[in-house]
Amino acid sequence: MYNLIVFLVLLLLGYGVGQYAERRHYRSIIEREGRLNALPAIASRYPPTQPHYRQALVTGSTVISVDYFKRFLAALRNLFGGRVTSYESLLDRARRESLLRMKQQAASMGAAMVFNVKYETASISKGRGNTIGSIEVLAYGTALIEPRGQ
């Protein structure tokens, strides 16, 4: 009985705090995406050769953890199959955040655009049992920096 109460409390906490944190995070992401809109990130491999840009590798990474509520939903999903909607928003946030951080790094270098953007997703810290506790997304690309004096 005691275990059930603890479980329900954790679930509620996970849901409440998780949803709040997620909304806040999304607001921040959308706002920053607006600000960094001028800096395009392209997945293409052939950058423009003129003007003669300087190049630098830029990266941005995020590790986002699952909350109790999401993990429980995913475990239930495992029984019936189908889309694990609780993880979709998690990964979406992680990716966009990583991209923004990469862009921020590029912007701080004075880049005009970032080319050959690639993503890597990995799972960090397997939690209790075999469930994965957190997810890391790495976004990296080559920043094309305006040559000095222009």
Partner 1 sequence: MKYRNPPIPEGINVSDRHPLRELFVLAGGALLLLLLLSWLLGQFGGRLARLLPFEHEAVLAPVSLLSSDAGPELQAYLDQLGDRLTTQMVLPEAMQVHLHVSGGDSFNAFATLGGNILLYRGLLEQLPHENALAMLLAHEMAHIEHRDPITGIGQGAAIQLVLGMLFGDPNLGVLGSAGLYTQLHYTREMETEADADALQAVQRLYGHIGGARELFDVIHAQREKSGLGEMPAIFSSHPLDQQRIEAIDTLAHERGWSKTGETTPLPPDFTRWIIEAADRAKARARTDGMIPGMPTSPSSLPGHPRPG
Partner 2 sequence: MLISNLELIPGRRVVEHLGLVQGSSVRAKHVGRDIMAGLKNIFGGELKGYTELLQESREEAMQRLQQQAEAVGANAILNVRFSTSSVAQGAAEIYVYGTAVTLE
Min separation Cβ 43 and partner 1, Å: 12
Instruction: Determine the Cα–Cα distance for residues 143 and 150; give it in Å rounded to an integer.
Output: 17
Query: Between 92 and 111, how does the x/- string for binding to partner 1 read (CB under 8 A)?
Result: x-------------------
Please list every residue from 15 through 54 that binds partner 1, using CB under 8 A. Answer: 15, 19, 26, 30, 33-34, 37-42, 48
Query: Between 62 and 101, how does the x/- string for binding to partner 2 read (CB under 8 A)?
Result: ----x----x--xx-xxxxxxxxx-xx-xxx--x---x--
- Main-chain dihedrals φ then ψ at residue 40, nearest 5 degrees: -75, 145
Considering CB distances under 5 to 8 angstroms, the limit depending on partner class, which of partner 1, partner 2, none binds residue 31?
none
The one-letter code for the residue type at 101 is R
Query: Between 110 and 139, how does the x/- string for binding to partner 2 read (CB under 8 A)?
Result: -------xxxxxxx-----xxxx--x----
Identity of the residue, 6 or 38, whose beta carbon is nearer to partner 2 in the bound complex? 38
Q: What is the largest CA-CA distance in the chain?
A: 72
Instruction: Determine the Cα–Cα distance for residues 99 and 141; give it in Å rounded to an integer.
Output: 10
Q: Helix/strand/coil (H, E, C) string of 20-61? A: HHHHHHHHHHHHHHHHHHHCCECCCCCCCCCCCCEEEEEEEE
